[in-house]
Amino acid sequence: MWSSLLFAAVVVCAAYTVRGLTGFGSGPIMAPLLALVMDLKTVIAVSVFLQFAVGGYMAFRTRRSVDRSVVARAALPGIVGAVAGAWLLSYLPVRALLFLVGFGTLWYAVRMLRGQKARTTEPSAAAALGAGGLSGLLEGMFGAGGPPFVVFLNRNQPDKSLLRGTVLGYFILIDGFLTLCYFALPTLVSSAPVLDRAGMMTALLMLAPAAAGAWIGDVLHHRASPAAFRTGVSATLVLSGVAVLLKAV
Q: What is the Cα–Cα distance from 136 to 27, expressed in whole angstroms? A: 13
All structural domains of the chain with their residue ranges? 2-248
Q: What is the pLDDT of residues 167-200, one digit of tens each?
A: 888 888 888 887 777 666 554 444 555 566 777 7
Length of the chain: 249
Per DSSP, helices labelled H in the chain are 2-22, 26-34, 40-61, 68-88, 95-113, 125-142, 146-154, 160-184, 197-205, 207-223, 226-248
Tell me the average pLDDT of the chain.
Answer: 77
pLDDT digits (tens, 9 = 90+) for 97-111: 667 667 766 776 776
- How far is it, in rounded angstroms, from Cα 249 to Cα 233? 25
From 247, 62, 217, 58, select the one nearest 141 (Cα to Cα): 247
Lowest mean pLDDT among 7-16, 71-80, 217-226: 217-226
| CB atoms near residue 162 (< 10 Å) | 17
Banded model confidence at residue 118, pLDDT cuts 50, 70, 90: low
User: Mean of the pLDDT values across residues 219-235?
Assistant: 78
Q: How many CA atoms lie within 13 A of 35 on its CB side?
A: 14
* Residue 3, C-beta contacts closer than 8 angstroms, at least 6 positions apart: none
As to burial, measured by CB atoms within 10 angstroms (0-12 exposed, 13-18 middle, 19+ buried), residue 117 is exposed
d(CA 69, CA 71): 6
